[in-house]
Structure 1
Amino acid sequence: MDIRQTAEQIVEAVGGKENIGAATHCVTRLRFALNDENQVNKEKLENIDAVKGSFSTNGQFQVVIGQGLVDKVYNELVEAAGIGKATKEDIKNAAEQKLNPIQRAVKTLADIFIPILPAIVTAGLLMGINNILTGPGIFYEGKSFVDVNTAWKDLADMINVIANTAFAFLPGLIGWSAVKKFGGNPLLGIVLGLMLVHPSLLNAWDYGKALEAGKVPHWNLFGLQIEKIGYQGQVLPVLLASYVLAKIEVFLNKKVPDAFKLLIVAPIALLVTGFLSFIVIGPITFGIANFLTDGLVSIFDNFAALGGLIYGGLYALLVVTGMHHTFLAVDLQLIGSKGGTFLWPMLALSNIAQGSAALAIMFISKDEKVKGLSFTSAVSAYLGITEPALFGVNLRFRYPFICAIIGSAIAGVFITINKVKASSIGVGGVPGFLSIFPDKWAPFFIGMAIAIVIPFVLTYLFAKVKKAK
């Protein structure tokens, strides 16, 4: 492959040098901030050998190239287009100007949670290993592996400590990312998040029992009773507190002379935000979060099949629009408040369904490029990364995308009525079973079989009928 020629072809297909405001890349994709996306010739673009697909989301036009190759293409593209190298932040800022308020809100949540995703997914995988070692009935009837092989017990306990750290100190991770996003000092965000889960506070998971027993500790601030509770596993309190902290810090940085900033800005910003967090922000958002969580749980408890049908079927559409990142916060809230999430297992099956539909195209198509793209995209989707399958194959031919949605919806109904939950967030594909509570592996594997077979068969049959006509 001539990398230089490929880069020049991409530049021409996206509307030429004049249409490129800025460009950067991630692990697999070129990311453009284009002046006018209507000038993109998608047919010409996707006929380029190196291009596996393209799509527009959150004001960015993205071209799927593939890991490793994308770096080489980007370096040549920068020279071919005569533009300077840009950072992801530059592209985001340029693209954000085109977004409406709802899209900006979704993008803000994505920008906060995506940076902490590696820590959360890693923790989820490790918790999955711990679940295998400690789950009863997996290896021995009625007993766990560590019950029978006691020498492994401390190893499992150590794995659990390592895995649980990201969830136990989740507000610290969110505080770092959120304050950074809102323009403040991320180190103060870490302190704020850890402050909300300080060991001297009543653990949020024990709040219900303490409230029932009338033993909730309080601070007495000159006659004002403030509940002395932490916010373990909570998302909303630290998000709002991070916003307040960042805005106070930004305001003080503008007003305080440089000579006094070290002594005034951070102490005042953290102190004021701390008081507001425990007095106002924490109690209000804690109540809102619990109300929303209880409402969502109630809906899925009473209308499980409908909930599974809607979420299982529509998740792929959320990925297309970029709104799927907002549900990461919901998953984390469910895990923190209820000990598990019933939404994430449907995410894993949706990814598998898109992979199966793409795999069917490999057996149908006579185009060698499409066959190769379909296979690699399917493998990627089975391992949790669906963009190549979604944008490179399924949306390109349309009917595989619809067949995948049908399979995902049916699988979602099945696992939801069987009360399948994940104890953590892991890899959203075939390895996703590691995050599922072991006693629900059987219905999850059946759901996985549905997500593999139905999209594949429907896509294959539809293609045959279509060709027969």
Structure 2
Amino acid sequence: MNHKEVAQAILDAIGGKENVSAAAHCATRLRLVLHDEEKVNQAALEAIDTVKGTFSTAGQFQIILGSGIVNEVYKPLVSLAGINEMSTSEVKNAGAKKQNPLLQLVKLLSDIFVPIIPAIVAGGLLMGLNNLLTAKDLFIDGKSLIDANPGIADLAAMINTFANAAFVFLPVLIGFSATKRFGGNAYLGAALGMIMVHPDLLNAYNYGAALVDHKVPVWHILGLDIEKVGYQGTVLPVLASSFILAKIEISLRKFIPSALDNLLTPLLSILVTSVLTFTLVGPFMRTAGNLFTDGLVWLYDTTGFIGGALLGLFYAPIVITGMHQSFVAVETQLISDIAKTGGSFLFPIAAMSNVAQGAATLAVLLVTKDKKLKSLASASGISALLGITEPAMFGINLKLKYPFIGAIIGSGVASGFITFFKVKAVALGAAGLPGIISIKPGSILTYVIGMAISIVVAFIVTFVLAKRDSRKSTAVNEKQAA
């Protein structure tokens, strides 16, 4: 394989070097920002043996080449295009500038939450492990594993402490990540998060009971009564406060003398933001966050399996726009407030959608005679079953159309089924076959049945549509020949 020739062929197919604005690569894909994607010659790209598939998302045109190949093609590509090598984050930012304001907001939330997902996933999965140990009737009739083995009770208690940490101190994680994203000092953001969950404050989880009993502690300052309430497990208040902190810090640095900058800027930034947080921003955003969460739970409880089926049907199209990234913030809030919400209903629906995409792709593997398509379908289909759908969705299903239709039908049917039985997740994780550990113990069997429904329906519908598509193509060819 001559990587330079492949790079030149790709460059010619995407409209030449004049059409390339920015370029980077990840483990398997070239990530390009093009001036005009209408100039891409899709047929010419697909004719290149090295190219395994293409798709466009978030302002980037991505070309799937595979691990070990993409980096070798990237080097001559940037040289031939006459541009500098860039990181994926730089290309992501360049692509974001081409998006509309709504998608830019989605990207903003993604930039904030994606870096902290490992901590949330770790805590959530530990929570799931604790539930496996403490759930009655899961393994033993009428008993939990702890009831049957009292010696491991402290082990479960220890795991529960580990699991709750990421959610109890969630404002610290979000404060660090959000303030950094807004252009401020990330460590000041972390300090703000610590202030919002300080042990001297009333724990946010006890706020409702204290409000009913009229026992909410307050600070009496200049005639104002400021509630001494923490923000454990909240999302919106710390996002808003982090934005204010970053902007105050940036503004102060413009006119405070450099000799006093390290002294006064952090002091004033934290002081002003903290006062605003507890007097105005925090209470308002706490109420907004609670109303938003209550609205989602109401919608879920009210529309029932019909709403679940519709969300399952449209989940994959939402993924195409990239707006599913904003769901992380919603899911985090739902799981953080698990005592009220019971967990996240979005995660199981996402899992139904992902396995449906995988099943549809594997149906293509069975019916196609194209060796290149078979190779891509086998790997991407299995990947989608495990929760990574981009190669399957963009590389095969959307391109052929009928597998995508089969997948969303399978997802809609399965999502309606699991919503009817109120399957919820107590943790975030891989939304697919491995997601079993994230599901509430009492709903695991229903979740497994839902995945089976999603896989079977998506596979059968795709298979039927493939045969129909094949017969239609044959009829057209025979008519043209006649």
For the superposition of Structure 1 and Structure 2, which TM-score range results when normalised by the shorter chain? over 0.9
Does residue 405 of structure 2 align to residue 402 of structure 1? yes
Aligned equivalent of 2:235: 235
Aligned equivalent of 2:468: 465
Q: CA deviation at 1:133?
A: 2.3
Secondary structure of 1:347's partner?
helix
Secondary structure of 2:233's partner?
coil
Aligned equivalent of 2:476: none
Secondary structure of 1:425's partner?
coil
Aligned equivalent of 1:84: 84
Distance 1:167 1:73, change over 3 A: farther
Distance 1:128 1:12, change over 3 A: farther
Aligned equivalent of 2:12: 12
Q: CA RMSD in A?
A: 1.7
Does residue 441 of structure 2 align to residue 434 of structure 1? no
Q: For the Cα contact (< 8 Å) 1:131–1:434, is it kept in 2?
A: no
Aligned equivalent of 1:356: 359
Deviations along 1:411-450, whole A, 9 cap, x unmatched?
Answer: 1111111111111111111011111100011211111111
Letter in 2 for 1:340: G
Aligned equivalent of 2:475: none
Distance 1:369 1:147, change over 3 A: same
CA distance in 2, matches of 1:213, 1:68: 63
The structure number with the bigger radius of gyration is 2
Aligned equivalent of 1:416: 419
Q: Which runs of 4+ in 1 moved over 6 A?
A: none
Does residue 306 of structure 2 align to residue 306 of structure 1? yes
Does residue 327 of structure 2 align to residue 324 of structure 1? no
Aligned equivalent of 1:276: 276
Q: CA deviation at 1:67?
A: 4.1
Aligned equivalent of 2:392: 389
Deviations along 1:273-321, whole A, 9 cap, x unmatched?
Answer: 1111111111001101111111111111111122101211111111100
CA distance in 1, matches of 2:439, 2:467: 36
CA distance in 1, matches of 2:441, 2:158: 19
Q: CA deviation at 1:199?
A: 1.7
CA distance in 2, matches of 1:193, 1:69: 43
- 1:11-410 correspondence to structure 2 within 5 Å: 11-337=11-337, 338-410=341-413
Q: For the Cα contact (< 8 Å) 2:128–2:438, is it kept in 1?
A: yes
* Residues paired across the two proteins, number: 469
Letter in 1 for 2:60: Q
Letter in 1 for 2:453: I
Q: CA deviation at 1:269?
A: 0.7
Is there any run of 5+ residues in structure 2 with no aligned partner, and where?
473-482
Letter in 2 for 1:226: I
Q: For the Cα contact (< 8 Å) 2:342–2:424, is it kept in 1?
A: no
Is there any run of 5+ residues in structure 1 with no aligned partner, and where?
none
Q: For the Cα contact (< 8 Å) 1:407–1:451, is it kept in 2?
A: yes
- How many percent of aligned residue pairs carry the same amino acid? 52
Aligned equivalent of 2:480: none
CA distance in 2, matches of 1:152, 1:413: 38
CA distance in 1, matches of 2:67, 2:310: 33
CA distance in 2, matches of 1:10, 1:162: 49
CA distance in 1, matches of 2:328, 2:42: 31
CA distance in 1, matches of 2:160, 2:65: 38
Q: CA deviation at 1:195?
A: 1.8
CA distance in 2, matches of 1:264, 1:182: 20
Q: For the Cα contact (< 8 Å) 1:125–1:427, is it kept in 2?
A: no
TM-score relative to the length of structure 2: 0.93
Q: For the Cα contact (< 8 Å) 1:106–1:325, is it kept in 2?
A: yes
Range with greater deviation from structure 2 (40-49 or 256-265): 40-49
Range with greater deviation from structure 2 (48-57 or 381-390): 48-57
